[in-house]
Amino acid sequence: MENKIKELQKILNIKFNDADILIQAITHKSYNSKINYETLEFLGDRVLGLTISNILISMYPNEKVGILDKKFSNLVNKKTCYEIGIKLKLNEFVLVGNSKKKILKIENKIISDICESIIGAIYLDKGLKIANEFILKVWKDYLKISIEAIIDAKTKLQEFSLKKFKSLPEYKVVSNTGPRHKPNFKVGVKIKNIKFTYSSGTSKKNAEQSAASLLLNKLDLS
């Protein structure tokens, strides 16, 4: 365990004062039902949100709030946290329990949650300044990417569907899960002769935009 934690600290480029906080941050409740990452994930989600909000306001001081909200949602959603978690190789450090000697599958959600719990651990152990610096470093590529295409995906898909099929895209909400402070909407979209394409988001609107963007990619129209 000691070597594992040292390796993780090296990847994060942060030396923790209290290594137990980092161990807690990678511990799933199946491994330890009392001391696990859930509280740190809750905290890390807030720290991430605050940091990304401040960065966006600095980057786009004159931007409309609606556009900032869309940019924010794309930067802090489960998909982005999962991708960053994989880049940091967090999947190699997760502590999960086992059932009948079969190790539990490390789902995408666990990786994205641990990405946020790591941020919570950094905040508790090193303070807000270091947490902010960490987020800015690992999110920099995502901050550079323009998401205007994603924001306008519904309009683009609608124009294509009307022109080709004389009909509007059809959207449907498949599920609405997660706590009130952090909902997760799964939405499907289809156009004539094309099966439903599904995606998720922190709001119905964001999920629709994401699903539309994925369908445009399938159609080579993105």
User: Active-site positions?
Assistant: 45, 116
150 burial level (CB within 10 Å; 0-12, 13-18, 19+)? buried
Following DSSP, what letter does each residue of 42-54 receive, concatenated? HHHHHHHHHHHHH
Q: Is 132 helix (H, G, I), strand (E, B) or coil?
A: helix
| Helices of type H across the chain | 2-12, 19-25, 38-59, 65-76, 78-87, 108-126, 128-138, 140-144, 148-151, 153-165, 204-218
126 neighbors 190 (Cβ within 8 angstroms): no
